[in-house]
Structure 1
Amino acid sequence: MRNKRVQDKILSLIYILVLFNTVFARKISFFNYFDEVITIISLMYLICNYKSIVRYKRYFNIIKCVITIIILGLIGNMIFSFHSSLIGVFKDILAFCKLPITCISLSYWTKHTNLNSAHKKVIELSKFFCIIIFIFCFISIFFDIGMSYEPRYGIRTYMFLFTHPTFLVYCMVIISCVIFSEKDYKVNDKSFWVYQGMCIFVLLFTFRDKAFAYIILLFFISYLLISNKKMNLKYFLLACCSAFIVSLKKILQYKSFSWSPRGAMYSDGFRLMLKHFPFGTGFCTFNSHLSGEYYSKLYYDVGFDLKPGVNPKDYVDIGDAQWPYYYVQFGAFGFIIFIYILLEVFRDLRHRYSKFTYSLNATYLLFGYMIISSLVESTFINESGATFLLVLYIYLGHNRKNNM
């Protein structure tokens, strides 16, 4: 029992770090490596339990896919030599492994761990933080209390204690999903909608397109639940179309620019994929922060070295979208294999929560948000690649020992 209480406290502390990691990182630089620590621990756990883990077909398939993509990436490095540093290549391999390795380790560990009490504790934490963030959001509408970012439409955008509203969106989406999962065992709890309303209110005042897309997804899934309808391909496509309409204004804005880093990553990236078919350009060569830090030789070939935000001295906009990272560095085959990895992760989560309606739909919400945000940031290889999986496997539901 004592060990159980210690475990719950540790998991609650980790949850707080997941929500406010970027806030803590401003004071203590160690927290900048929070996701790397998670990945390394996950890798060590996988190695220690390898014989037991590979007995599961899904885990074994993901491991084979990861090894295949690593081989494809290294072949690209050897053929084209666009990388500027072997250390950068090693770091990029670790970044790529964040999502699949963390998924396997967490999925296996939580199959054999009772998380019921930990889940209930983080729900209470989520409600507490939701109220606090909502109160300060309401105050910041009328008074400048130092929690605002640049104004949009004449209104101050809200960012709480974060350095940018996008980090607040990440925080509130997680809080919303965790509270959403509570309704599995509190069916008649009317406060559920109050907390979701507070989350929506805060997300609206971040004025981020991905926040609006999440709100539409939340309304859509809530409507299906109220109507006793199950998510299927028709509803999924409708939800995707709704999210696209929300993003259409931003897409048209990018098209109006004579040149934009994100647009260039997609369009030039596609041309580079065809040019270096079938292997790709290799690790640490395109559209990751590491490829900017260890400035890739590939950027000189496409003239990025002369553009703002993507040159050797100012590479802040490199990594502003996720998908070119995969189809340029690993080629068309590597990209298809990664899509298969994502589908396997999704199937694992869907099977995991198949008997729990609200936990399953909270998974749809968070996984859907990951896909939405991956269009405009490096969701799978930055800190959220590991932390989102922590939430998906640990903080969205009861113990699943009887649901394997």
Structure 2
Amino acid sequence: MKLKIRKKTLVIVILGLYLLFKHALEANSTSIVNLIVSYSDEALTIMATGYVLYAMMSYKKVPKFAKSALASWGVLLLIGVVSTLFNMVQPLKSDVIDMIACSKFFAFYVATGIYWNNHFQQDILLEFNGIVRFIVTVLSLLVICNVLIYPLFPSSEFRLFINSQQLFFGHPSNLADSALFCFIILLINEDKIDKTNTLYMILASLLIVSTMRDKQISAMVFGWISYLYFYKFKFNSKFCLVVIGLVASIYIGYDSLSLYYGGNLDATARGAMTSTGFQIAKEKFPLGYGFASFGSGASIAPYSKLYYQYKISTIYGLTPLEPNFANDAFWPIVFGQFGWSGFIVVAFFFWSLLNQCFKIKENRLMFCGTLVLIAYLIIATVGTTSIFNDSFMLCAAILSYAFVYRYRCDNEN
């Protein structure tokens, strides 16, 4: 297990590790450090936005996929600003905070795309490979110790056959996200050094299973299906792969989907948020209510009047005193804050990601890893804020790297 890092990529590696362990740092730091870590994603978003503006003014090469994302980002912000000015639901401070939150993925994706395009590091993911192997090994040993020997770290609720493991990450979902990104890096590099990466992929998979988070488990299973179908058995039909993965993901996540969205939608927080989001999109066609108005973290600080207006403020998890589930899904934000116009923009962006992914032809493992990342972004929309969440900033950097890699392969051929 070799850990080899070049000096010129040291800053990139440190930033990647920081994003991988950000929530762990947040959960285990003192008040001052916790405050710095908590707002670091906003600071990174502002810095990434500044870099994009600088790159455009200095005529740096902007890859086509980044231009497409830049257009989606710009249109979404424009919709948000216009609808905010028309409705004025929240204070200006909340609107600005939410504008930054909705820009996190876009800013990092575009900025890293421009950076990779102008300063391409051929083996940067390979440099992460040894580090990821070490991380997966240590975390796996800690989980084994926590489950079988002595509980060094707290665990969450009991699911199926095990308490959901979270170690020092603060929540099982945070550990699952980090393990999934490790799994994808190992998958992409599986053919570059030796065949032992498969063993570490298994360890990462077991880590994900130990958290008992359906979304990440679905993405991991889809990763294995992609790996076996497209790389090991050399099948070429990408459409069949997507169908198989979709069926597997729905099967794994069926219980959670039934719990949160089955039966009477208004009986659960996520269901009520989703149905209300659709109602808002219909009533406020085509722009929604604007930033910080509904479904986002900024909509509960202060508590948005829309929760009272649409009579969902008494539902468990949506009350003014405990709005724990008000910021727990992606589509309520899209429909509630940006309306059908925002839905079209977001749908186009997801389509553009898939379109770029399907153009990766030279490296089957790169295609598999990229497809799993995009699949997870889409799967995560039912239970997280997806691309509006800081957990996916590392995902943005990996995707942009894969697409620049594809451009360079095309140009060489």
Give the TM-score normalised by the residue count of structure 1. Answer: 0.90
| 1:380 Cα offset (Å) | 0.9
Asked whether 1:190 is paired with 2:198, we answer: no
1: CA distance, partners of 2:68 / 2:373: 24
Partner of 2:271: 263
**Is the CA contact (8 Å cut-off) linking 1:184 and 1:356 kept in structure 2?**
no
Gap runs ≥5 in structure 2 = none
Provide the identity percentage: 19
Partner of 1:14: 15
2: CA distance, partners of 1:293 / 1:123: 40
Q: Aligned pair in 2 of structure 1 residues 72, 336: CA closer, same or farther (>3 Å)? A: same
Asked whether 1:203 is paired with 2:212, we answer: no
Asked whether 1:306 is paired with 2:314, we answer: yes
**Is the CA contact (8 Å cut-off) linking 2:61 and 2:118 kept in structure 1?**
no
Partner of 2:284: 276
Partner of 2:100: 94
Deviation sequence 1:1-50 (CA, Å, 0-9, x none)? xxx94332212211221221111123122111232222112111111111
2: CA distance, partners of 1:231 / 1:384: 31
SS of the residue corresponding to residue 304 of structure 1 reads coil
Deviation sequence 1:81-106 (CA, Å, 0-9, x none)? 3x221111111111212222221211
Deviation sequence 1:224-271 (CA, Å, 0-9, x none)? 122101352232122112211111111222336772111111112111
Gap runs ≥5 in structure 1 = none
| 1:58 Cα offset (Å) | 4.2
Partner of 1:150: 157
Amino acid at match of 1:227: F
2:373 to 366, 375, 400: 366
1: CA distance, partners of 2:190 / 2:44: 29
SS of the residue corresponding to residue 156 of structure 2 reads strand
| 1:388 Cα offset (Å) | 1.6
Amino acid at match of 2:351: L
Amino acid at match of 2:384: E
| 1:401 Cα offset (Å) | 4.5
Q: Aligned pair in 2 of structure 1 residues 271, 399: CA closer, same or farther (>3 Å)? A: closer
| 1:402 Cα offset (Å) | 5.1
Q: Aligned pair in 2 of structure 1 residues 197, 325: CA closer, same or farther (>3 Å)? A: same
**Is the CA contact (8 Å cut-off) linking 1:282 and 1:330 kept in structure 2?**
yes
SS of the residue corresponding to residue 380 of structure 1 reads helix
SS of the residue corresponding to residue 330 of structure 1 reads helix
SS of the residue corresponding to residue 388 of structure 2 reads coil
Asked whether 1:139 is paired with 2:145, we answer: yes
| 1:396 Cα offset (Å) | 10
Partner of 2:304: 296
1:221 to 223, 226, 229: 226
**Is the CA contact (8 Å cut-off) linking 1:379 and 1:385 kept in structure 2?**
yes
**Is the CA contact (8 Å cut-off) linking 2:190 and 2:365 kept in structure 1?**
yes
1: CA distance, partners of 2:136 / 2:365: 19
Amino acid at match of 2:214: D
Equivalent residue runs for 1:305-324 within 5 Å: 305-324=313-332
Partner of 2:132: 126
2: CA distance, partners of 1:246 / 1:269: 26
1:253 to 247, 259, 264: 259
Partner of 2:55: 49
Deviation sequence 1:257-311 (CA, Å, 0-9, x none)? 7721111111121111111111211111111111111221211111232233222
Q: Aligned pair in 2 of structure 1 residues 209, 86: CA closer, same or farther (>3 Å)? A: same
Asked whether 1:104 is paired with 2:110, we answer: yes
SS of the residue corresponding to residue 162 of structure 1 reads coil
Amino acid at match of 1:153: L
**Is the CA contact (8 Å cut-off) linking 2:296 and 2:327 kept in structure 1?**
yes
2:342 to 314, 334, 355: 334
| 1:398 Cα offset (Å) | 6.8
2: CA distance, partners of 1:9 / 1:400: 25
Amino acid at match of 2:240: K
**Is the CA contact (8 Å cut-off) linking 1:38 and 1:386 kept in structure 2?**
no
Equivalent residue runs for 1:56-75 within 5 Å: 56-75=63-82
Partner of 1:325: 333
**Is the CA contact (8 Å cut-off) linking 1:39 and 1:386 kept in structure 2?**
no
| 1:56 Cα offset (Å) | 4.8
**Is the CA contact (8 Å cut-off) linking 1:53 and 1:59 kept in structure 2?**
no
2: CA distance, partners of 1:46 / 1:397: 16
Which stretch of structure 1 is more off in the superposition, 66-75 or 50-59?
50-59
Amino acid at match of 1:378: T
2: CA distance, partners of 1:263 / 1:214: 23
Partner of 2:171: 164
Partner of 2:382: 375
Partner of 1:388: 395
| 1:174 Cα offset (Å) | 0.6
2: CA distance, partners of 1:346 / 1:34: 29
Give the TM-score normalised by the residue count of structure 2. Answer: 0.88
RMSD value over aligned CA atoms?
Answer: 2.4
| 1:214 Cα offset (Å) | 2.0
**Is the CA contact (8 Å cut-off) linking 1:77 and 1:282 kept in structure 2?**
yes
Q: Greater relative contact order: 1 or 2 (C-alpha under 8 angstroms, separation 6 or more)? A: 1
